[in-house]
A and B are shown apart, each in its own frame.
Chain A
Amino acid sequence: MLKKITDRRTLLKGAAAGGLLAATPLASRFASAQSDAPIKIGFQQHSTGIGAAYGRWYGRTTEAAVKKINGEGGINGRPIEIVAEDDGTDPKRGAEVLEKFANQHSCDIAFGTLFSHVVYGSAPAAGELKLPYFVVSEGHHVASGALNRWTMQPGITDVKSQVAAMAPFVSKNLGKKVTMIFPDFAFGHDHRDFFTAAIEAQGGEVLEHIAIPPTETSFTKYFPKIPRQTEVIYHVMVGPGVLTFVKELGEFFGPSRPEIFGFIDSLEAVDMSSPGLEYLEGTYFWEGMPRYAQASQSAHEKAYRTAVGVDDNGASLSDSKDVSTYAHMFGCWETLHTIKAGMEYADYQGPQDRQKLIEAIESMSIMPESAAHPQGAKVFNGRTHQTFGHQYISKVENSKLVLAHATSIADTFYEDEVDYTKMSF
């Protein structure tokens, strides 16, 4: 397979030398493909609903990744065409969107879902339609075995591995008596179950679980349930009310706050210097990828940041108030690159090769840090369809997130719960 890619490059070089590229640049760039029809990727986008801020940035990242891949010759010499459909961050509409991709738009694959309840709602449809479905969701649903062989998560790590890597840091540096605040749906329940187990393994305990409906807009009323002897608040929140949540948490504690460890989800797409967030100074956040450009920034990360149009503070280059969902959106970029690698390895020609594509990706394992994987190296587990990678812990200093600790990939491993490769298609 590798040889074939080299051949195409050689051919392109030859074409350039012959002046063909100058004459018809686009046609010849995809010249070596057997069919130069575009590969259609259905993008299930949260354009509206509670996931809309993520959907917008997932869209921008996808656009940037496609631009890069197409600029470098596409997949097997064929350009990618993105067909975006809004799912309203709604599980029922999610399933309908997948059907539309398969039957109406004749997409080769579907990709891009974030919210875990939408993944749960859509994955059965992907199984029925036999449509490869690449989610970028963080939920443990893929690796738990609850879904099917057509659903994969190769571009972003899951909650179970994230919290397993966080628990030692929390118990060593912040405290052992934890109160958890999380959204009351699948994603939050993953946090509840896996962090509780992980902190107990470290000799700590969770004193109280506070579940909040993801559409809630007012939060002070939940905080009196926090036990007085709490040493660490562990918070993870999603939806349009996140800034209110964090602000009201600060107002509740006043000057005597416990240690606070949050998942950046609670402030994703929110400016860290928003009024009311001053109290977060000195607290810690998990980040999938550091929002602020760090001193240790790699060249790949820098190139990625520029490509998706984000400045050193994690905001849009065109509007400093438009803060990105930087800790998550790299997943779209990396997933698309993995799809490209998988399709080229499987010599994907069209929908008849969908099964070959899944098998090709299942056979992958180590993905080194590269332009395709700017967040860092990954280890993909083909049996559980889930990728594993580095996790980052940042400290709030002068209203910026400064990287305090990066975990190893091994810190995030756990035992397999499923072997999808043994399931039938």
Chain B
Amino acid sequence: MDFGPYLLLASLEGAVGAAVLALTAVGLSLVFGVMRVVNVAHGEFYMIGAVVAWFVATTVGTHPALGFVAALIVAPLVAAIIAIAADRLVLKRVNYDPEATIVATIGILYIIQQAALMGYGPEARPVEPPFNHRIALPWYDFAAGEWFYPWGLGTTSYKLFVIAVAIVLLLGFWALMTRTKVGLVMRATQLDWDMAQAFGIPVDRVYALVFGFGAALAALAAVLIVPIQQAHYLMGGDPLLLSFIVVIIGGLGSVRGTVVAAILIGMSDGIISVFFTPTLAKIIATMVVALVLVFRPQGLFGTKAA
């Protein structure tokens, strides 16, 4: 394949990855920003989203679009309810102690993963996309001076839809955080826990809400990706690792930084994997994390720890 169409294809693949990664990582970043909890179980909420999407899509088996829309609503809700329960039953009991919560969320990771294995099984199962057409993309041939359709250069309408929905959801999230009272309350809790409580903010409930909301974002990302990739009980591993990379590069707790880093990592992962090897893409991402930690520990957009 020629270089130009090849690059376009790689960028499109990278953009789909980046869109889903941004949603997942924003959830992780939010939880850390507000609660100072490093949620190792974040990838499992992503997995729950995919698995619930499969259950919903197969139960509401009339038209794929109907099942998909139902999954978009139900999956984040289920993930949020499980996350809130985990917050009430576990994280609150260990007083959100940083080390204890890491160990606790590792435990939650295994509980959710094994529960999925027992209840859902070891197979990777597909969810039918609401619509899916192959779109052949044209390319301009400078030598001949005309547009043509290169072999293999194409994407699907569903992949473009994923990118669009992710952008809308991220804008919505930004508006929620900056333009609404809920967002204000969350930001207040993030800035100063004691002061927020002194002003009558029910910090306990904000924490539960934030943990649930973070999980719901991961689940939403998974519902979007599951018609492309299948739901599988081990699928939470990769998004967790990439989300951590993104959040560290972008700056823990910074939504803007998280989105920028997700695009950076997602796109470079797509492009480097295509032109070199997927292993090299992971090596480079990990090296960037190391460099950021050494030279700019607060991340690209993070503020110095208070």
Please, which residues of chain B bring their CB within 8 A of the CB of A55? 122
In this complex, which of A218, A228, A242 has the most chain B Cβ atoms within 10 angstroms of its Cβ? A218
Decide if B273 touches A253 in the complex (CB within 8 Å). Answer: no
Task: Using CB atoms, name the residue of chain B closest to A239.
Answer: B124
Judge whether B13 and A254 touch: CB under 8 Å.
no
Of B10, B125, B278, which one neighbours A216 at CB under 8 angstroms?
A: B278
A261–chain B nearest beta-carbon distance, Å: 19
The contact of B132 among A217, A224, A274, A275, by CB within 8 Å, is A275
Q: What distance in Å separates the Cβ of A242 from its nearest Cβ neighbour in chain B?
A: 7
User: Given A56-B121, A218-B229: A243 and B152 within 8 A (CB)?
Assistant: no
Please pick, from A240, A251, A253, the residue contacting B232 in the complex, using a CB distance under 8 A: A240
Also in contact, A240 and B124, with CB within 8 A (given A224-B1, A228-B151): yes
Chain A residues with CB below 8 A from B154, complex form? 251-252, 254
A225 CA to B10 CA, complexed, in Å = 12
A254 contacts across to B, CB distance below 8 A? 134, 136, 152, 154
Interface residues of B (CB under 8 A from A): 1, 5-6, 9-10, 13, 17, 58, 64, 117, 121-126, 128-129, 132, 134, 136, 151-152, 154-156, 228-230, 232, 234-235, 238, 270, 273-274, 278-279
Contact yes or no, B132 A276, CB < 8 A:
yes
B230 touches A49 (CB 8 A): no
Chain A nearest Cβ from B240, distance in angstroms? 13
**Could you tell me which residues of chain A, from 318 to 367, have a CB within 8 Å of some CB in chain B?**
321-322
Q: A56 and B122 in contact (CB under 8 A), knowing A252-B152, A276-B132?
A: yes
Question: A370 CB to closest chain B CB, in angstroms?
Answer: 32
Separation of A274 and B124 alpha carbons in the complex (Å): 12
A244 interface hit (Cβ, 8 Å):
yes
Total contacts A to B, CB within 8 angstroms?
Answer: 89
Please pick, from A47, A244, A251, A253, the residue contacting B229 in the complex, using a CB distance under 8 A.
Answer: A244
Return A399 CB to nearest CB of chain B, in Å.
14
B124 touches A241 (CB 8 A): yes
- A228 to chain B minimum Cβ distance, whole angstroms, is 6
Q: Assess the A53–B17 pair: CB atoms within 8 A.
A: no
**B124: A residues at CB distance < 8 A:** 53, 240-243
Residues of chain B contacted by A256 (CB below 8 angstroms): 151
B162 to chain A, nearest CB (A): 12
A and B contact pairs by CB, cutoff 8 A, 5 listed: A55-B122, A222-B273, A224-B5, A243-B230, A251-B155
A240 and B235: CB pair below 8 A? yes
Interface SS of A by simple majority:
loop
Report B66 CB to chain A, min CB distance, Å: 15
A172: Cβ under 8 A from any B Cβ: no
Given A240-B124, A274-B126, A221 and B152 contact (CB-CB distance below 8 Å): no
Give complex CA distance A228, B1 in Å: 7
Is A407 part of the contact surface with B, judged by Cβ < 8 Å?
A: no
Inter-chain contacts of A283 with B (CB < 8 A): none
CB of A226 within 8 Å of the partner chain: yes
Q: Which A residues are in CB contact (< 8 Å) with B136? A: 254
Q: How far is the CB of B154 from chain A (nearest CB, A)?
A: 6
CB distance from A386 to the nearest CB of B (A): 29
Q: Report the separation of the CA atoms of residues A49 and B232 in the bound assembly, to the nearest whole angstrom.
A: 10
- Closest Cβ–Cβ distance, residue B217 to chain A (whole Å): 20
A220 on the B face (CB < 8 A)? yes
Q: Determine whether A52 belongs to the interface, using a CB cutoff of 8 Å to chain B.
A: yes
Query: Cβ of A368 < 8 Å from any Cβ of B?
Result: no
- Given the known inter-chain contacts A254-B136, A276-B132, please indicate yes or no for A224 contacting B6, CB distance below 8 A: yes
Contacts A226-B152, A254-B134, A269-B123 given: A244-B6 contact, CB under 8 Å?
Answer: no
A236→B304 CA distance, assembly (Å): 50
Asked if A251 contacts B134 (CB within 8 A), the reply is yes
Check A52–B123 contact: CB distance below 8 A.
yes
Give Cα A225–Cα B1 distance, bound, in whole angstroms: 7
Are B9 and A53 within 8 A (Cβ)? Answer: no
Residues of B within 8 A of A269 (CB): 123
Nearest B residue (CB) for A55? B122
Which residues of chain A in 219-261 are interfacial with respect to chain B, using CB atoms and an 8 Å cutoff? 220-226, 228, 240-244, 251-254, 256
In the complex, the answer to whether A224 meets B278 with C-beta atoms within 8 Å is: no
Establish whether residues B270 and A221, one from each chain, have CB atoms under 8 Å apart when the complex forms: yes
**Which residues of A sit under 8 angstroms from B134, Cβ to Cβ?**
251, 254
A53 & B123 in contact (Cβ 8 Å cutoff): yes
Q: Give Cα distance in the complex from A222 to B270, angstroms.
A: 10
Beyond the given A220-B13, A252-B152, could you list 6 further A-B residue pairs with CB under 8 A, ordered by the A residue number? Answer: A48-B117, A220-B9, A221-B10, A221-B273, A228-B151, A241-B229
A213 on interface, CB distance cutoff 8 Å: yes
**What is the CB-to-nearest-CB distance from A249 to chain B, in angstroms, rounded to a whole number?**
10
Chain A positions 198 through 224: 1 when the CB is less than 8 Å from some CB of chain B, otherwise 0: 000000000000000100111011111
Residue of B nearest to A56 (CB): B122
Please, which residue of chain A has its CB at the minimum distance from the CB of B151? A228
Nearest A residue to B9 via CB reads: A224
One digit per residue, 1 when the CB lies within 8 angstroms of any chain B CB and 0 when it does not, for chain A 145-183 equals: 000000000000000000000000000000000000000
Are A223 and B152 interface neighbours, CB within 8 A?
yes
Q: Are A240 and B234 touching (Cβ within 8 A)?
A: yes
Which residues does chain B contribute within 8 Å of A222, judged by CB atoms? Answer: 273-274
What is the CA–CA distance of A244 and B154 in the complex, to the nearest angstrom? 16
Cross-chain contact A224 with B274 (CB below 8 angstroms): yes
- Contact, CB under 8 Å: B279 / A221: no
Whether A253 and B152, one on each chain, are in contact in the complex, defined by CB atoms closer than 8 angstroms, is yes
Can you name the residue of chain A whose Cβ is closest to the Cβ of B1? A224
Complex Cα spacing A373 to B273, Å? 45
B122 near A243 (CB under 8 angstroms)? no
Residues of chain A with a CB closer than 8 A to B273's CB:
221-222
Name which residue of chain B comes closest to A228, CB basis. Answer: B151
Chain B residues contacting A225 (CB-CB under 8 Å) are 1
Query: Which residues in chain A, 94-114, are within 8 Å of chain B measured between CB atoms?
Result: none
- Bound Cα distance A48, B152 (Å): 36
